[in-house]
């Protein structure tokens, strides 16, 4: 039954859209400043930009990191394009590893191996959805997130946690708050930024920018949401690295 539910959630997620350019992000979908503010600092990102080194980013996520086969329309590609636009003098290299259908624990060994092989400056770790759907004990989930972040820090990389998507439809079949809370606690304890995708998407839904309760206009909705997420995440990275305007284009 959980496998069926998982499939429903991932399909309801933002998985189908045609290619789109980063500049296609609409003027709507603004994000309140408090949702893009972090007291934690991306020191390695800041050093890479300041020293003129490449900024290598590894995104570890689920199927919601993609849009079917159109990788250029997904939020990681939009993030890369926005960073290239804002940090024109910095080489921005971004790779995406999809850990589809895996819990945080299932992903842990793969995560560590990928970081050892790719040696990124920044890891963006999207997690929590599969654990919630499968009913993994929230305390066990936080323990695994703690272990993963510790391993990433020991490997010498900056880390951003990304929590699950917001959707009124998924809220009816699974309880996300314990996992959202545990990710927030883990981020605070490890002094790393948390990109609160859930709260950002809920704000867009409540403000009328998007209607996530409707299945209408699914292709256009996916394209716009990914563009908006990429734009918001680029601002989050730049602000968390404390990159001033002289370091931006």
30 lies in some domain: no
Residue 23 has pLDDT above 60, yes or no: no
Residue 117 has pLDDT above 70, yes or no: yes
DSSP 13: S
27 lies in some domain: no
187 lies in some domain: yes
121 lies in some domain: yes
214 lies in some domain: yes
What is the residue whose two structure tokens read 């689920």? 62
Helix axes 104-118, 138-154, angle to 10 degrees: 10
Residue 121 has pLDDT above 70, yes or no: yes
Band of pLDDT at residue 11, cut at 50, 70 and 90: very low
Alpha-carbon torsion angle 99, 161, 209, 15, nearest 10: 0
147 lies in some domain: yes
Helices within the chain (DSSP H only): 2-12, 43-50, 75-86, 104-118, 129-134, 138-154, 168-171, 177-190, 197-207, 218-240
**Residues 151, 60: contact at Cβ < 8 Å?**
no
Residues 6+ apart with CB under 8 A from 70: 17, 18, 19
89 lies in some domain: yes
Band of pLDDT at residue 167, cut at 50, 70 and 90: confident
Q: What is the pLDDT of residues 35-52, one digit of tens each?
A: 999 999 999 999 999 999
pLDDT of residue 248: 77
What's the whole-model pTM score? 0.86
Residue 126 has pLDDT above 70, yes or no: yes
Count of structural domains within the chain: 1
Band of pLDDT at residue 217, cut at 50, 70 and 90: low
**Rounded CA separation 83/231 (Å):** 9
Range of the domain at 99: 2-10+40-247
pLDDT of residue 168: 84
CATH of the domain at 109: 3.40.50.1110
User: Would you tell me how many other CB atoms lie within 10 Å of the CB of residue 3?
Assistant: 10
Residue 175 has pLDDT above 80, yes or no: yes
| Ramachandran region, residue 54 (left: φ > 0; alpha: ψ -120 to 50; beta: rest) | beta
138 lies in some domain: yes
pLDDT of residue 42: 98
**Residues 13, 197: contact at Cβ < 8 Å?**
no
Residue 56 has pLDDT above 80, yes or no: yes
Residue 139 has pLDDT above 90, yes or no: yes
């Amino acid at each position: 039954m959980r496998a069926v539910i998982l499939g429903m959630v991932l399909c309801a997620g933002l998985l189908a859209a045609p290619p789109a350019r980063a500049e296609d992000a609409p003027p709507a979908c603004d994000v309140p400043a408090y949702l893009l503010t972090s007291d934690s600092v991306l020191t390695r990102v800041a050093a890479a930009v300041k020293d003129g080194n490449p900024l290598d980013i590894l995104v570890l996520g689920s199927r919601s990191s993609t849009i079917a086969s159109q990788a250029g329309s997904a939020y990681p590609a939009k993030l890369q394009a926005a960073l290239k636009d804002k940090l024109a003098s910095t080489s921005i290299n971004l790779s995406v590893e999809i850990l589809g259908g895996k819990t945080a624990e299932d992903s842990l060994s793969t995560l560590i191996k990928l970081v050892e092989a790719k040696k990124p400056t920044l890891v963006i770790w999207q997690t929590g959805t599969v654990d919630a759907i499968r009913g993994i004990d929230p305390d066990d989930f936080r323990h695994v997130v703690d272990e993963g972040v510790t391993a990433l820090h020991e490997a010498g990389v900056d880390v951003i946690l990304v929590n699950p998507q917001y959707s009124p439809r998924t809220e009816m079949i699974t309880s996300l708050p314990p996992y959202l809370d545990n990710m927030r606690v883990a981020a605070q304890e490890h002094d790393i930024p948390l990109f609160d995708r859930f709260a950002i998407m809920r704000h867009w839904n409540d403000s009328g920018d998007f209607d996530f309760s409707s299945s209408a206009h699914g292709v256009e909705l996916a394209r716009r949401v990914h563009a908006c997420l990429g734009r918001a995440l680029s601002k989050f990275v730049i602000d968390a690295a404390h990159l001033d305007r002289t370091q931006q284009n």
